């Protein structure tokens, strides 16, 4: 609590400062304009420095240059103040549990606005459409697009589009017409608003605001289908609103008399052109980004920047072509996310993710605060009870009607209909926000006399929806017992089964001979795999894009973290040596752990790393070395923990520094992959036919493959056999020795690595090209491959072969660390981390525990 | 319904099938048409060969298993009623329109769907998914992207996650439990069989 108060105090002081500055800024502004209009003399009289002032008589040591930086300074200061507001709000958890953050931010905006008003007697700051549409909004839209749950989005795209397009048109038309009707009926007294102006107003009020929706729904955690429909709608309908707004704006300018059928048709056409054109621009930029990230590996440091710049450009380009900028950026994000994530370095991916969140969250905060500040302005408050109340009422009611009607129709075609309660929440979630306000401010006062009334009404609707509906949303969700989002913890089996379901559904559609969603989905996936992925994704990234593996990887990382944390909690190396700790960590494989040779092996392993670390620190980093030495002497254990933490479970996606980073030539020809795949499938079908169950491979196969291995490995043609390898345990044991020796002999040049080869690093993509030069692949003619693969059961992978030699050991270690391949990389990485100068002695032989 | 009743006569014990599977007669008719088109020789039953001519199925990594599921009873043929019964697993789950409150479980119920999925794993029908069985599924579905060793450790992990009684295999109960949170209704349903 004490911190809170201190903080409040701090904020207040800042505000005071801000108030003072705002005064100054006002002066500065007027002064600037005066200067611009040529009244230089008066500007001089205000004194206070500046460059163009009176001729100086002596050299000033320090000068007050507020004018130079006033704008930038104010911007930075305002950003700071807005974020501090958020900080303050988030400090009160018991408040944010009941009142959504967005509402609180608006309220703090009221307070800030009040302060400025108190100081200036006029509202100096308000949210200008330029700032909003060109600086604040794009960040949020890009973030929403980039982090869109694609599958969910596209599964529900139909519903989203219908709500976004038809629903928004309905909202606009119904609101405009009803208000007009009421006006005609005399409910609002004397207002100078015509039918077209009402429709214009309706169209700007129609859009559900993504910022507001996200802010509220983020905290409510409704089920994902409900969320994606509301959120997707809010995102896409902005495009629709802007189009509608522009069309009606043009109609208003044209005047009622000159609108004929042709103009209306033009309006409709322009609607489609703007919407689809915007999406196309976005798709084009998405492809560009994906292509760009394919070749940024040499400039990894600014890699993330491309996403932002290109995303912003997609927004601006669409805006320039007067297409829908929001749609453009959304689709850009949606399209590129997959490829960007696969192409870029993992740290860049993380950077993009967090930077995007920072920007989006930051500008969201600013938007809400300024929505509050904008309210404190006497100029815009034109009260007309009838107009305002009716607008609020109609907005609310028509939203319900529209959603229920559309969803009722949509439900007939849905596999799992949206429930009634969900529909209530969908309607209730129709929050209006800054987009509406921005558009209202954009209105031309010359054409629309009652602009201020409209702004005022818009603000009231925004406050009504964001604050009132926002606050009541959570209780309503509870009360209606709307299905909430399940807090899902990914489990591997779930993921695998999920994938299997997908295949199953496609198969069932095949069998029952009907074309359904799954058919199209599988077609799309096929298309994507065949055309998009090779084009947009790095070859090296392509093979990693498997979600089962991904989950596996994530789970492993999580476990590794737990493992290290747990070990550190115990405070020493003990957890490495201690049998019980390992057992504790890895509950289920007791039998493997009790094998006597394992713990020593572990220790050996790390011990080796350890000594390596000491011996081969290059002279370049002598200081580092010294420090490390000290640290080691001081607390060896901690250092090992650190080592583990740092290097043990590094992701496979991370590139290796070193030579192999530059030659990514892992090109398994996609066609060949396809071919193998098909052949495999045929074979499987065959084997089903013959043996009913293809559980165990015939013995002959094993023999065959062994023979092959012996033949081929020495001359490096192990590639061809990948098709043969399979996983019988005995096979592993058997082939261990000879193929390992094969490696050693065939790659003598990597002596340093070769010593560690048995430990792994082989499945690291960076090393694959070394092991399997691409040209070898080409050397195998298809027919040969065909004959070889006759005996294959399932072809696991090229790299599987490489791992055969040490599999049993590897497996056990996997068991221990539960880190799978990461552990093997570790040594590798460790190795690499100690760049060996030419003079450095060769690395010690691999620890005996390895083989 | 009236118009289709004449052609419904073609289908053996249609009434019973409808009752058992929850299909409407229109569905049954459509499926019967499909059945006949698959049954090229008009034998009145299908053999695995009939399925294998389907192009998409050959491309499907677990196509073989699906076919297998149709012949689970150990026979080499499947007649129309078994065909329909299998497909009925993929109907969307009936929510609240349980006709005349039948206590009998339709194939589209959650448990039955899960059971079906479970059997896709459990090749030897011993009621347990062994590591080897899981590996095979993985191998089929992950194809060439992942090394054998990684496959092994994935399988290892997956089993550990679900394996509650520590017998190193996943029983149906464990399977069901570990997929508790999964939206089986949506994921194991095909919309046109509604």
Task: Encode pLDDT of A229-263 as tens digits.
Answer: 888 888 888 878 888 888 888 888 887 677 778 88
Q: How confident is the model at residue A784 (pLDDT cuts 50, 70, 90)?
A: very low
**Per-domain residue ranges of chain A:** 129-480
For B5, other C-beta atoms within 10 Å of its C-beta total 10
**Per the CB < 8 Å rule, is A506 touching B56?**
yes
Q: Tell me the residue ranges of DSSP E strands in A161-285.
A: none
Nearest 5°: the CA angle A308, A310, A313 is: 110
Residue A825: the pLDDT is 42
Q: Which residue has the higher pLDDT, A82 or A641?
A: A82
**Cβ contacts of A694 on chain B, cutoff 8 Å:** 64, 136
Residue B179 lies in a domain: yes
- What are the φ/ψ torsions at residue B129 (nearest 5 degrees)? -95, 110
Give the nearest partner residue to A795 out of B59, B144, B181, using CB atoms: B144
State the Cα–Cα distance between residues B128 and B169, nearest whole angstrom.
6
A552 at B interface, C-beta within 8 A: yes
Residue B96 lies in a domain: no
Average pLDDT over residues A337-352: 85
**Per the CB < 8 Å rule, is B178 touching A763?**
no
pLDDT score of A757 more than 50: no
Residues in chain A: 851
Q: Do B132 and B185 sit in the same domain of this protein?
A: yes
DSSP state of A649: T
Q: Do B79 and B140 sit in the same domain of this protein?
A: no
**Per the CB < 8 Å rule, is A796 touching B66?**
no
Residue A690: the pLDDT is 60
Residue with tokens 């923990």: A641
pLDDT in tens, A786-810: 444 444 444 444 444 444 444 444 4
For A850, other C-beta atoms within 10 Å of its C-beta total 19
**Per the CB < 8 Å rule, is B58 touching A682?**
yes
Q: Do B32 and B66 sit in the same domain of this protein?
A: yes
State the Cα–Cα distance between residues B108 and A131, nearest whole angstrom.
55
Residue B22: the pLDDT is 74
Three-state DSSP class for residue A429: coil
Q: How far, rounded to the nearest angstrom, does the alpha carbon of residue A588 sit from its chain's CA centroid? A: 35
User: With a CB-CB cutoff of 8 Å, which residues 746-765 of chain A face chain B?
Assistant: 763
- A325 touches A278 (CB < 8 A): yes
Q: Do B79 and B112 sit in the same domain of this protein?
A: no
Show the tokens assigned to A73. Answer: 């300074």
Closest CA to A415 of B15, B177, B108: B108
Residue B7 lies in a domain: no
Residue B154 lies in a domain: yes
**Per the CB < 8 Å rule, is A415 touching B153?**
no
Q: For the structural domain made of A129-480, what CATH number should be given?
A: 1.20.1530.20
Q: How many domains does chain B have?
A: 2
**Residue A89, class by beta-carbon neighbours within 10 Å (0-12 exposed, 13-18 middle, 19+ buried)?**
buried
pLDDT in tens, A38-58: 333 333 334 344 445 567 788
**Per the CB < 8 Å rule, is A693 touching B124?**
yes
pLDDT in tens, A126-144: 788 888 889 999 998 999 8
Mean pLDDT is lowest, of A267-271, A499-503, A772-776, for A772-776
Mean pLDDT is lowest, of A273-282, A729-738, B76-85, for A729-738
A669 at B interface, C-beta within 8 A: no
Give the nearest partner residue to B62 out of A486, A503, A668, using CB atoms: A503
pLDDT score of A520 more than 90: no
CB contacts < 8 A (A, B): 238
Q: Which CATH number belongs to the domain containing residue B183 in this structure?
A: 1.10.238.10
pLDDT score of A218 more than 90: no
Q: Which residue has the higher pLDDT, B143 or A119?
A: A119
**Residue A295, class by beta-carbon neighbours within 10 Å (0-12 exposed, 13-18 middle, 19+ buried)?**
exposed
Residue B79 lies in a domain: yes
Range of the domain at B62: 13-89
Q: How far, rounded to the nearest angstrom, does the alpha carbon of residue A313 sit from its chain's CA centroid? A: 18
State the Cα–Cα distance between residues A582 and A575, nearest whole angstrom.
7
- ipTM of the shown complex: 0.85
pLDDT in tens, A275-322: 889 999 999 999 999 888 888 878 888 888 889 999 999 999 999 998
pTM > 0.95: yes or no:
no
Residue A759: the pLDDT is 38
A488 at B interface, C-beta within 8 A: yes
**Per the CB < 8 Å rule, is B48 touching A797?**
no
Three-state DSSP class for residue B78: strand
């Amino acid at each position: 609590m004490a911190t809170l108060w201190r903080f409040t105090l701090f904020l207040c002081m800042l505000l005071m400062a801000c108030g003072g500055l705002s005064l100054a800024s006002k002066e500065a502004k007027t002064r600037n304009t005066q200067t611009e209009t040529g009244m230089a003399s008066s500007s001089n009289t205000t004194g206070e420095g500046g460059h163009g002032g009176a001729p100086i008589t002596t050299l000033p040591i320090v000068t007050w240059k507020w004018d130079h930086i006033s704008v930038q300074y104010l911007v930075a200061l305002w950003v700071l103040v807005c974020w501090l507001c958020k900080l303050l709000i988030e400090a009160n958890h018991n408040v944010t549990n009941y009142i959504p953050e967005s509402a609180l931010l608006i309220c703090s905006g009221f307070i800030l606005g009040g302060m400025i008003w108190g100081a200036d007697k006029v509202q100096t700051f308000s949210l200008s459409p330029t700032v909003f549409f060109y600086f604040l909004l794009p960040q949020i839209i890009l973030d929403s697009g980039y982090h869109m749950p694609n599958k969910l989005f596209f599964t529900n795209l139909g519903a989203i589009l219908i709500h976004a397009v038809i629903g928004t048109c309905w909202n606009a038309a119904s609101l405009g017409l009803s208000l007009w009707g009421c006006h005609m009926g005399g409910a609002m007294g004397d207002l100078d608003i015509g039918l077209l102006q009402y429709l214009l107003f309706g169209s700007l009020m129609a859009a559900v605001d993504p910022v507001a929706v996200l802010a509220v729904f983020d905290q409510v955690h409704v089920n994902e289908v409900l969320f994606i429909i509301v959120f997707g709608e809010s995102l896409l309908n902005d495009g629709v609103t802007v189009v509608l707004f522009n069309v009606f704006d043009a109609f208003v300018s044209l005047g009622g008399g000159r609108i004929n059928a042709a103009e209306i048709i033009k309006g409709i056409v322009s609607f489609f052109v703007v919407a689809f054109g915007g999406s196309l621009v976005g798709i084009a930029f998405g492809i560009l980004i994906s292509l760009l990230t394919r070749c940024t590996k040499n400039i990894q440091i600014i890699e993330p920047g491309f996403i932002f710049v290109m995303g912003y450009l997609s927004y601006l380009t669409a805006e320039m072509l007067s297409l829908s900028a929001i749609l453009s950026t959304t689709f850009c994000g949606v399209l590129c996310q997959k490829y960007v994530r696969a192409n870029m370095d993992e740290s860049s991916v993380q950077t993009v993710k967090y930077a995007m969140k920072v920007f989006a969250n930051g500008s969201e905060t600013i938007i809400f605060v300024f929505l509050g500040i904008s309210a404190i302005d006497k100029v815009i408050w034109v009260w007309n009870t009838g107009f305002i109340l009716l607008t609020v009422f109609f907005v609310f009611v028509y939203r319900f009607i529209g959603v229920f009607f559309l969803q009722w129709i949509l439900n007939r075609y849905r596999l799992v209909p949206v429930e009634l309660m969900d529909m209530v929440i969908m309607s209730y979630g129709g929050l209006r926000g800054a987009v509406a306000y921005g558009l209202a401010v954009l209105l031309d006062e010359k054409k629309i006399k009652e602009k201020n009334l409209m702004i005022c009404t818009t603000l009231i609707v925004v406050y009504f929806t964001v604050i009132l509906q926002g606050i009541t949303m959570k209780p309503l969700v509870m009360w209606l017992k709307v299905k909430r989002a399940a807090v899902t913890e990914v489990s591997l089996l779930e993921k695998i089964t999920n994938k299997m379901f997908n295949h199953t559904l496609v198969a069932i559609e095949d069998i029952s001979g009907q074309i359904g969603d799954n058919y199209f989905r599988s077609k799309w996936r096929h298309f994507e795999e065949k055309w998009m992925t090779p084009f947009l994704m790095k070859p090296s990234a392509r093979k990693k894009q498997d979600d089962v593996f991904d989950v596996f990887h994530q789970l492993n990382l999580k476990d590794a973290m737990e493992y290290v944390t747990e070990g550190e909690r115990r405070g020493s190396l003990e957890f490495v040596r201690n049998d019980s700790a390992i057992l504790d960590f890895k509950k289920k494989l007791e039998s493997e752990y009790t094998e006597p040779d394992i713990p020593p092996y572990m220790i050996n392993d790390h011990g080796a790393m350890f000594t390596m670390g000491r011996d081969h620190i290059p002279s370049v980093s002598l200081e580092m070395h010294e420090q490390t030495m000290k640290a080691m002497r001081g607390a060896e254990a901690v250092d090992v923990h650190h080592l583990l933490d740092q290097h043990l479970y590094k992701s496979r996606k991370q590139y290796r520094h070193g030579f192999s980073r530059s030659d990514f030539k892992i090109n398994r020809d996609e066609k060949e992959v396809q071919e193998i795949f098909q052949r495999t499938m045929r074979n499987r079908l065959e084997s089903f036919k013959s043996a009913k169950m293809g559980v165990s491979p015939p013995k002959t196969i094993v023999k065959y493959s062994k023979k092959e291995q012996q033949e081929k490995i020495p001359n490096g043609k192990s590639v061809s056999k990948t098709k043969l390898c399979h996983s019988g345990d005995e096979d592993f044991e058997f082939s261990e020795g000879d193929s390992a020796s094969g490696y050693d002999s065939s790659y003598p040049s990597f002596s340093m690595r070769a010593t560690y080869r048995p430990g792994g690093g082989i499945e690291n993509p960076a090393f694959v090209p070394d092991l399997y030069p691409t040209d070898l692949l080409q050397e195998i003619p298809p027919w040969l491959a065909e004959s070889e693969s006759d005996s294959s059961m399932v072809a696991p992978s090229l790299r599987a072969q490489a791992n055969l030699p040490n599999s049993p050991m590897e497996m056990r270690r996997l068991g221990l660390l539960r880190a799978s391949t990461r552990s093997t990389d570790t040594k590798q990485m460790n190795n690499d981390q100690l760049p060996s100068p030419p003079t450095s002695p060769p690395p010690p032989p691999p620890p005996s525990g390895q083989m | 319904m009236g118009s289709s009743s004449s052609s419904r006569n073609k289908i053996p014990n249609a009434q019973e099938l409808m009752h058992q599977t929850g299909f409407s007669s229109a569905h049954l008719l459509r499926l019967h048409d499909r059945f006949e088109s698959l049954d090229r020789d008009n034998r009145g039953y299908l053999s695995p060969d009939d399925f294998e001519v389907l192009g998409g199925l050959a491309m499907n990594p677990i196509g073989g298993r699906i076919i297998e599921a149709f012949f689970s009873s150990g026979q080499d043929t499947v007649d129309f009623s078994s065909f329909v019964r299998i497909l009925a697993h993929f109907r969307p789950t009936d929510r609240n329109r349980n006709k005349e409150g039948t206590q009998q479980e339709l194939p589209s119920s959650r448990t039955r769907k899960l059971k079906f999925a479970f059997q896709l794993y459990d090749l030897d029908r011993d009621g347990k998914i062994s590591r080897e069985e899981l590996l095979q599924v993985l191998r089929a579905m992950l194809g060439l992207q992942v090394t054998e060793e990684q496959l092994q450790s994935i399988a290892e992990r997956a089993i550990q996650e679900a394996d509650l009684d520590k017998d190193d295999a996943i029983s149906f109960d464990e399977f069901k439990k570990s997929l508790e949170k999964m939206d089986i209704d949506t994921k194991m349903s095909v919309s046109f069989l509604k």
